[in-house]
Amino acid sequence: MNGKQTRLRRILHPGSRRTVIVPLDHGYTMGPITGIAEIEKAALAAAQGGASAVILHKGSAGRCAANLPPQISLIVHLSGSTHCGVDPQRKILVCSVEEAVSLGADAVSVHVNIGGAHEADMLHDFAYISAEARRWGMPLLAMLYPESSLSGAVDRAQLIAHAARLGAELGADLVKIPYTGDPESFRQVTGGCGVPVVVAGGPKMGSSGAVLSMVAEAMDAGAAGTALGRNVFQHAQPERMVAAIAMLVHQNRSVEEALRRLETPLELTPKRGRVP
């Protein structure tokens, strides 16, 4: 077993090949928004709920390492932009694979917006990081989002399927992609990708039931898991939300059972620092 396979086994459950990832990288883009103002607390809540991994930028990753238990994986995000910029859709590289290795990462991630004016630049960066990740034996998660402006010209489900396949073609080991809206079309995404697909959450939804129903549909359509950020860390009980999602992902439980899990306090284990 090589280094990449060893790291992937920390993120994808060896038996089911499924995962519950909690992105906490939003501070770079949006600032200290609700739920991640205290980033160490947010990361610990994800870990206590049973998340497989958290996604952090390099500064937060360094600060949170002492609070993360050994069983949770660290994914260091390598690209970003801010909502304050002239072109928020243009992502640039802000960290290297080598830096992520020094932080004890189990994987790295990059964000690419498909169909915009700077698609070529972002794909170039994606290809570069893919090569570096392979050289370091580091798994790569690709976050791929078709530009919303394209939806009028092409079926959005087809766009999402194309974006997912693009990620696999450029060497991603995992692909994070938006939900298409129904299991039938999302099954085309997962079936045509070639590598495990995790469903993104996007903006905070109106209810916990809506979030869990989306997760259940995505899993039924062949998803390998979830990568939900705001719908987890902005929940009133984020650790319980992670636990409810984990029931759907790892145990194939019903949405009704997952909703009941939200009403039950967790038995929290004492924190033990994760050694980079």
Say what the alpha-carbon torsion angle 186, 187, 191, 196 is, to the nearest 10 degrees.
60
Evaluate if residue 243 carries a pLDDT over 90: yes
Structure confidence at residue 1 as a pLDDT band (50, 70, 90): low
- Which of these, 131, 133, 72, 79, lies nearest to 101 by C-alpha position? 133
What mean pLDDT, rounded, does the chain reach?
A: 93
C-alpha distances out from residue 10 to 20, 54, 153, Å: 11, 12, 40
Res 236 pLDDT > 80: yes
Q: Which of 25, 106, 125, 173 does the annotation list as catalytic? A: 25
- Whole-model pTM over 0.75: yes
186, 223 contact by CB (below 8 A): yes
Spatial neighbors of 169 by CB under 8 A, at least 6 apart, are none
Task: Give the active site residue among 91, 106, 176, 179.
Answer: 176
Report which DSSP code applies to 132. H
Among 213, 222, 205, 120, smallest CA distance to 161 is for 222
Integer CA distances (angstroms), 104 to 41, 69, 211, in order: 20, 13, 31
Position 32: which residue type?
P
Query: CA-to-CA distance for 120 and 169, rounded, in angstroms?
Result: 15
pLDDT in tens, 143-184: 999 987 665 556 889 999 999 999 999 999 999 999 999 999
Note if 125 is an active site residue: no
| CB contact set of 223 (below 8 Å; sequence gap of 6+) | 186, 190, 197, 198, 199
pLDDT tens string 38-86: 999 999 999 999 999 999 999 999 999 887 888 899 999 999 999 998 8
Asked whether the predicted pLDDT for residue 235 surpasses 60, the reply is yes
Burial of 179 (0-12, 13-18, 19+ CB in 10 A): buried
Average pLDDT (199-227) is 96
Contact 3, 12 (CB under 8 A): no
Quickly count: other Cβ atoms within 10 Å of residue 6's Cβ: 12
CATH assignment of 3-261?
A: 3.20.20.70
pLDDT band at 202 (very low <50, low <70, confident <90, very high): confident
Q: How crowded is residue 245: how many other Cβ atoms within 10 Å of its Cβ?
A: 28
145 is catalytic: yes
Q: Is 182 a catalytic residue?
A: no
58, 145, 173, 179: the active-site residue: 145
Cα torsion angle, 93, 95, 96, 97, sign: negative
Distance CA 70, CA 68 (A): 6
At 151 the pLDDT is: 56
Tell me the domain boundaries of the chain. Answer: 3-261
Using CA atoms, how far residue 80 sits from 92, 110, 269, in Å, is 6, 8, 33
Q: How far is CA 271 from CA 22, 48, 69, in A?
A: 18, 9, 6
